[in-house]
Amino acid sequence: MTSLITDNADGATPRRGPLKRGFPLPRSAPPTVSSTLHRLSSMASLRAWEQRSTPALMHQAILDGVNARHAAEAAHLSVAEAHVRWSAWAAKRLAPQRPGIAAELPVQQFLNVHAAFAAALD
């Protein structure tokens, strides 16, 4: 009787490749244009989400006492790149969205984070 492990009674090395008995190994389907486009779209969505969320996370980290240089490094950015991204994000939140409604970002928070980035740039 042959061994299930070696397929040989004499202890020869096991065979490689698909089994003659049992369930066949599934083969992966070749990528199609639609699956490739779906992956590309998913990656673009992920990149857009990352670009929207990174400035807000850096802002909160700096307000919580993290050094601006460390916040930039955690985001895999230089301090200058982090400051540019954060500034664009903060500028949109400094202006009131509608008349009579307070801005989303308090001016003092903006000044504190801006000062932290300025100190890290020196």
- Predicted local confidence at residue 10, as pLDDT: 57
pLDDT for 78 beyond 90: yes
Q: What is the mean pLDDT of residues 21-28?
A: 68
Identify the pLDDT of residue 16. 56
Distance (Å, whole) CA 25 – CA 82: 48
What proportion of the chain, given as a percentage, has pLDDT over 70? 78
Question: Is pLDDT of 68 > 70?
Answer: yes
Token reading at 25:
């190994």
The pTM of this model reads: 0.66
Q: Work out the angle between the directed axes of helices 107-121 and 79-94 (0-180°, nearest 10).
A: 170
Whether the per-residue pLDDT at 111 is higher than 90: the answer is yes
**3 pLDDT more than 60:** no
C-beta separation of 68 from 61 below 8 A: no
Q: Say how far apart CA 72 and CA 85 lie, in whole Å.
A: 10
- What pLDDT, on a 0 to 100 scale, did the predictor assign at position 97? 77
The set of long-range contacts for 78-82, using a CB threshold of 8 Å and a minimum separation of 24, is: 79/117, 79/120, 79/121, 80/121, 82/58, 82/117
- Would you place residue 90 in the very low, low, confident or very high pLDDT band (cuts 50, 70, 90)? very high
Cα within 13 Å of Cα(25), Cβ side: 7
